[in-house]
Chain A
Amino acid sequence: MRIKQLLIGITASVIAISSYIEIAIADLKFPMLVYRTGAYAPNGIPNADGFVDYYKMINARDGGIGGEKILHPECETGYKTQVGVECYEKNKKDAMVFQPMSTGITYQLIPKATADGVTVYSTGYGRTSAANGKVFKWIFNAPVTYWDGASIAIKHILSNNSNDIKGKKIALVYHNSAYGKEPIRTLEVLSKKHGFKLMLLPVDHPGQEQKATWLKIRKARPDNILMWGWGVMNQVAVKSAASIKFPMDKFIGIWWSGSENDVLPAGQGAHGYKSLTFNAPGTNYQVHKDIKKYVHDKGEASGDGSHFGTVLYNRGLFQAMVQVEAAVVAQKMHGTSKITPAMYRDGMENVKLDANRLEQLGFKNFSPPFENSCANHGGSGLAAVQQWDAKNKSWSMITDYMGSDRAIIDKLIAEDSGKYAAEQKIAERCN
C-alpha cells in the first residue's frame, strides 16, 4: 500500500514539476490554427511552415522574446470554421494572440475573443471593418484589408487605362464564402464612382468545377477579371482563363490568389497572371539567412523545408514577425518580459514597423512599412502588384506598394463598424 502511495506521489510530483517547467520555459504562448490536411492543405502548409520556422529562429537566435521562449502549439482546423472555434476554446488560456487563417473563423472569434480579452490578428483577411480600432479593441488586420485590395486592384486597372474605365466591364470571380464576399460592397461603390459595370460570379467550395462560370465569362467578355479565390478554386480559375484565352495580364487575384500553387498547374498558360501582394517572394533577405543558419542547417526546418522562400511561406514569416514585434513592444511598454494577454494587445496597438525597424528585423524591402494605433488596426493599406513569369517559374513585383482610395474605404469602414458597434452596444474609444 505504501509503495502504491509513494508511486502515485512521485507521478503527481513529476506531472506538477513538468507542467511548471513548461510554463517557466515557454511562457509566451502563440497558438497556431493551421490546416495541414484537407482540401486547402497545399496553401496551409507553407504558411504554417513560415510561422514555425520564424518562431524557432527567434528562440534559437535570441533566446526567445526578451528571454521568454515562444511556445507555438498547433491546432488543425482543416479550414473548417467550427473546428477553428473549438481550437480557439482549447488554446485560449494564456494565449497572446490568435491568427485564425480563415475569414470564416475570424468572424466567429471576433465576439468571443473580445469577451475573453484575447488578441486576434487576421493579417490581410477577416472582417475589413475591424481596422477601426475604436470599435474593435482586440482585433487587428494590418497591414492591408480586403477593401484596400479591391480599391488597389481597380487603381491598377485605372493606371493601365489612362485613368478612364467608364463603361468597362469588370468581373469578380469569388469564393462563395464570407472571405470571397468581402470586396463586393467596395467594388459596388467603386463601380458607381468610376462608371464600370460589375459582374459577380460566385464559385462554391471547393471550386473544382467552374465550367459554367467560365462559359459565362467567355460570352460576357469582361475587360478585366478580379479573383478572390482560395485553394483549388485558384488553380482551376487560372487554368480556365488560359483555356478560354483570356488575356492573363488583365486577370488580377487578391493576395490569397497569388502563390506558386495557383499558377504552376496551368503551365505556360498562366504566364502574365497578376496578383496583389504585401510581401515579396524569394530568399534574398536577412531573415532567410538567419532561418537557414539557426533552423534549417540544424535540421530543424518545419516540414521538409521545400517551401522556403515561396509566397505563402514568406507571408507566414511576415505574420509571425508582426506577432513577435507586438510582444517586444508590449515588453518595452510595460517594463516586463512576462507580459499578459492584455499587455500584448497594447503592444500590437503600438507596433511601428517603419523602414528602419523592418531592416533591423531582417525584412528590408520585404513588405510595406506600417504602424497601428488606437484608432487604426488596419495598418497602412498598401499593396503591390506581382506578375507570374511561367518560363522562369517566378513572381516579380511590377509596381511599387500603393495605397487605396481612402476617401471611400474609410467611409465604408466607419459605416460597417458603426453598425457593428450599435448592434453590440460597444462604446467607441480613442476619443
Chain B
Amino acid sequence: MSVELLNFIETVLNGLMSGVMYSLVALGFVLIFKASGVFNFAQGVFALFAALTLVGYQTGQVPFAHLINELFGTNYHNWYASMPNFLAIILTMITMIALAWIIERLVLKHLVNQDPIILFMATIGLAFALEGVGDLMWGSDVKVLDVGIPSGGSIWLEEATIGLAAEGSDYYGMYIDVLNVWATIIAVILVVTLALFSQYTKTGRALRAVADDHQAALSVGISLRTIWILVWAISGFIAMVAGIMWGTESGVQFSLSLIALKALPVLILGGFTSIPGAIIGGLLIGVGEKLAEIYIGGYFETGALENWFAYVMALVFLLFRPQGLFGDKIIERV
C-alpha cells in the first residue's frame, strides 16, 4: 500500500475516534431534549462537574475547603489520602443523581409549560451557576484524572501496520491513542445499554412515552417529574463518562466545559432527537475536521481548521436537512 493511502486511513480512523468523544457529549444533550424538549446548555459543565467531583473523591479533597477555611479560620484540605476508583465513581454517580434531583426541584419544576426558549435560558444560567459551584467546591487547579484507563499511542497497531507500506518507504506505522479505543468501547456499551433500557424496561418505556407525547404520557399516569429526574440523572451519568474520557486526555480543568461547543455541530448533523444520530453525527464531524485540517489546512493562512470546520459542515447541512440526519421531520401546520 502507498504511504499516502495508509496516512489517509490513519486520519480517518483518528477522526472516527475523536468523533466518538464528541458523541459522548452529544448523547447527554439528545436524552434530555427527547424527554423534556430542553436544550441543556449546561451539558458541558455537567461533564466538568462530574470529572471535578470524581477527582475530588479520589483524592479525598474536602469540598468547599477554601470557603470553610476562609469563614472559620481552619486549615482543612484533605480528609483521606485516596479512594479506590470504583468507589469514587459510584459516589460521583450518586452526586450526579442528587444534582439531577436538585435541578428538578429548584429549576425545572417551576418552569413546566414555559416556552422552550425560557427553559434554554434557564440552562444557560444553570451552566454558569454550576461552574461557579464547581470552582467553589473543588478549586480551579488543573487536576490529574487517572481511573486506570490506558492512554498513549498503540504500539501493537504501529508494529502491525509498519509492514503494510512498500519496502524502503518512510513509514512509521499507524497511530491511534489507546484512550480513544477505550472511549469507543465504552460508548458502544453505553448506547447498547440505553437501547436495551428504553426498549425492555417499564421505566424505559415510560421514558419513551414522555419523549413521544407529554400530555398522553401524563394521561396514562406517568409522572413527568420522576421521568425528568431520571433523564437528567442518566444524562449526568453520561456526562461523567464524557468527563472521565476528556479529563484523562487533558487533565480536569475548567476549559472542559467548552467541549459542549463541540457537541453542537454533532447535534445539527445527527438531529436533536436521535441517539444513533448523535453517534453518526459525531463520527462525521470527527472525520470531516481531521481530513480538513490535514489535507486542506495548508491552503489557509490562518490554519487551525480543526476547531471551526465542524461548524462549516453543520451550516452546510442545515441548508439541506435542518432536522439533521435522523431527527424528527419538521412539519409546520398552517
Interface size classification for chain B: 35 or more
Q: Is A261 positioned at the interface, with any CB of B under 8 Å from its CB?
A: yes
Q: Is B58 positioned at the interface, with any CB of A under 8 Å from its CB?
A: no
Q: Within the assembled complex, what's the spacing in Å between the Cα atoms of A204 and B309?
A: 11
Q: Within the assembled complex, what's the spacing in Å between the Cα atoms of A261 and B142?
A: 6
Does more than half of chain B's interface fall in helix, strand or loop, or is it mixed? helix
Which has the most chain A C-beta neighbours within 10 Å: B11, B251, B293, B306?
B251
Asked if A243 contacts B304 (CB within 8 A), the reply is no
Additional pairs, 10, CB under 8 Å, beyond known A205-B307, A242-B152, A244-B175: A37-B254, A39-B258, A203-B304, A208-B262, A212-B297, A231-B253, A243-B152, A245-B153, A261-B142, A306-B141
Nearest chain A residue, comparing its CB with the CB of B21: A209
Within A244-277, which residues are at the interface with B (CB < 8 Å)? Answer: 244-245, 261, 264-265, 267, 269
Q: Is A4 positioned at the interface, with any CB of B under 8 Å from its CB?
A: no
Q: Is B214 positioned at the interface, with any CB of A under 8 Å from its CB?
A: no
Q: Within the assembled complex, what's the spacing in Å between the Cα atoms of A209 and B139?
A: 23
Q: Is A394 positioned at the interface, with any CB of B under 8 Å from its CB?
A: no
Within A308-358, which residues are at the interface with B (CB < 8 Å)? Answer: none
Asked if A215 contacts B175 (CB within 8 A), the reply is yes
Q: Which residues of A contact B177 (CB under 8 A)?
A: 211, 243
The answer to whether A39 and B254 touch (CB under 8 A), given A209-B262, A211-B18, is: yes
Q: Smallest Cβ distance from B146 to chain A, in angstroms?
A: 8
Asked if A204 contacts B250 (CB within 8 A), the reply is no
The chain B residues found within 8 Å of chain A, CB to CB, are 7, 10-11, 14, 18, 65-66, 69, 73, 77, 132, 135, 139-142, 144, 146, 151-153, 172, 175, 177, 246, 249-251, 253-256, 258-259, 262, 289-290, 293-294, 297, 302-308
Asked if A37 contacts B10 (CB within 8 A), the reply is no
Q: Within the assembled complex, what's the spacing in Å between the Cα atoms of A232 and B254?
A: 9
The answer to whether A216 and B294 touch (CB under 8 A), given A204-B308, A236-B249, is: yes
Q: Is A411 positioned at the interface, with any CB of B under 8 Å from its CB?
A: no
Q: Within the assembled complex, what's the spacing in Å between the Cα atoms of A176 and B152?
A: 25
The residue that A41 contacts in the complex, of B140, B250, B304, with Cβ under 8 A, is: B140
Within A261-317, which residues are at the interface with B (CB < 8 Å)? Answer: 261, 264-265, 267, 269, 299, 303-304, 306
The answer to whether A231 and B297 touch (CB under 8 A), given A211-B18, A215-B175, A219-B7, is: no
Q: Within the assembled complex, what's the spacing in Å between the Cα atoms of A243 and B308?
A: 24
Asked if B175 contacts A218 (CB within 8 A), the reply is yes
Asked if A215 contacts B290 (CB within 8 A), the reply is yes
Q: Which residues of B contact A235 (CB under 8 A)?
A: 142, 250-251, 253
Asked if B66 contacts A304 (CB within 8 A), the reply is yes
Asked if B251 contacts A304 (CB within 8 A), the reply is no
The chain A residues found within 8 Å of chain B, CB to CB, are 36-42, 45, 176, 200-206, 208-213, 215-216, 218-219, 221, 231-232, 235-236, 239, 242-245, 261, 264-265, 267, 269, 299, 303-304, 306
Q: Which residues of A contact B294 (CB under 8 A)?
A: 212, 215-216
Can you sample 8 A-B contacts with CB below 8 Å?
A37-B140, A41-B140, A41-B253, A203-B304, A204-B306, A206-B258, A215-B175, A232-B251
The residue that A45 contacts in the complex, of B132, B140, B151, B256, with Cβ under 8 A, is: B140
Asked if A211 contacts B306 (CB within 8 A), the reply is yes
Q: Within the assembled complex, what's the spacing in Å between the Cα atoms of A269 and B144?
A: 13
Q: Smallest Cβ distance from B270 to chain A, in angstroms?
A: 18
Q: Smallest Cβ distance from A223 to chain B, in angstroms?
A: 15
Q: Which residues of A contact B141 (CB under 8 A)?
A: 42, 45, 261, 306
Asked if B306 contacts A215 (CB within 8 A), the reply is no
Q: Which residues of A contact B258 (CB under 8 A)?
A: 39, 206, 208
Asked if B18 contacts A209 (CB within 8 A), the reply is yes
Q: Smallest Cβ distance from A267 to chain B, in angstroms?
A: 7
Q: Which residues of A contact B307 (CB under 8 A)?
A: 204-205, 209
Q: Within the assembled complex, what's the spacing in Å between the Cα atoms of A244 and B172?
A: 11
Q: Within the assembled complex, what's the spacing in Å between the Cα atoms of A5 and B253?
A: 54
Q: Which residues of B contact A219 (CB under 8 A)?
A: 7
Q: Within the assembled complex, what's the spacing in Å between the Cα atoms of A39 and B77?
A: 23
Q: Smallest Cβ distance from A362 to chain B, in angstroms?
A: 26
Nearest chain A residue, comparing its CB with the CB of B180: A211
Q: Smallest Cβ distance from B140 to chain A, in angstroms?
A: 4
Q: Which residues of B contact A218 (CB under 8 A)?
A: 172, 175
Q: Within the assembled complex, what's the spacing in Å between the Cα atoms of A45 and B303?
A: 31
Asked if A232 contacts B290 (CB within 8 A), the reply is no
The residue that A204 contacts in the complex, of B77, B246, B249, B304, with Cβ under 8 A, is: B304
Q: Within the assembled complex, what's the spacing in Å between the Cα atoms of A299 and B70?
A: 9
Q: Which residues of A contact B69 (CB under 8 A)?
A: 304
Q: Which residues of B contact A210 (CB under 8 A)?
A: 306
Q: Which residues of B contact A265 (CB under 8 A)?
A: 142, 144, 250-251
Q: Within the assembled complex, what's the spacing in Å between the Cα atoms of A311 and B146?
A: 24
Asked if A201 contacts B303 (CB within 8 A), the reply is yes
Nearest chain A residue, comparing its CB with the CB of B151: A243
Q: Which residues of A contact B254 (CB under 8 A)?
A: 37-39, 41-42
